[in-house]
Amino acid sequence: MSASSNWFTEQHVSSGSAIGYRITGKLAEEQTPFQHIEIYATTDWGNLMVIDGCTMLTTRDNFLYHEMMTHPVLYTHAAPKNIAIIGGGDCGTLREVLKHPEVESVVQIDIDERVTRLAEKYFPELCESNADPRAQLLFDDGIKYMADAAPASLDVVIVDSTDPVGPAEGLFNAKFYASCFRALRAGGILIQQSESPLVLLDLIKSMHKEMRGVGFAATRTLPFPQPCYPTGWWSCTMARKGAPFDGFREHDAANKPFATRYYNAGIHRGALAEPEFMRAALGT
């Protein structure tokens, strides 16, 4: 990562590429007990949040990620009522989940409260549903929370984490997946951000293997565009307990009672059509 007087540039060693933003200034910088957080103002992408040198979100394109981390899984589940979000400190995922009227409770567990407090100041639109009575915000260890969760107490677990290093490293292994499996009811679904399929397909393959290894009946990766992340192409991976994936509630998705900027029933159908190299590698 480098920041000159008017550009922030993040280098991606694994993909041999970089992405940059023209900035007008640094709005905040903090070293928390867990990570280093920076907020920049940009000329064209709104505000930019950077954690440990890696782009986390921009005002301009975060809707792609937040909508794809929530609406596909919630419209795939038959009746999602009780939801847990691991990570998600910027609260954009929480906002999207709470758009679903059938959801009765959402608990968000992020280890670093400062991410949320900075989001409230610099990305207030993402935090507009934080006071919803169905929502509970906890600042704690998400790995421990899932390990201690009551069996069969959740319908959906959403893992909205940073890359699999540092505080998020323990979210990408069989032990964590086993905790999620135990906490989900029959038919429950785990969804996790799963990096770029273009350069990190081996990680996605490992996720599928370990999710199935702890008992999930089916796994599926949905790719989607994400300009601010390495390669501009991202993904989320779903794992279902006790039943194969058999489509989604397409009628409900087509008649959703809320506005989105990217997600709709057609986008959902399209994301299920995996590219050939992903089908060959993942066996889906």
Catalytic residues: 160
Lookup result for tokens 């279902």: 240
Q: Is 169 in a helix, a strand, or coil?
A: helix
What is the secondary structure of 12-80 as a DSSP string? ETTTTEEEEEEEEEEEEEEE-SS-EEEEEEESSS-EEEEETTEEEEETTTHHHHHHHTTHHHHHHSSS-
Type of residue at 128: E
Let me know the angle formed at the C-alpha of 50 by 46 and 52, rounded to the nearest 5 degrees: 175
C-alpha R_g of the chain: 18
Q: How far apart are CA 133 and CA 188, in angstroms?
A: 23
Number of separate helices (H) and strands (E) present in the chain = 10, 13
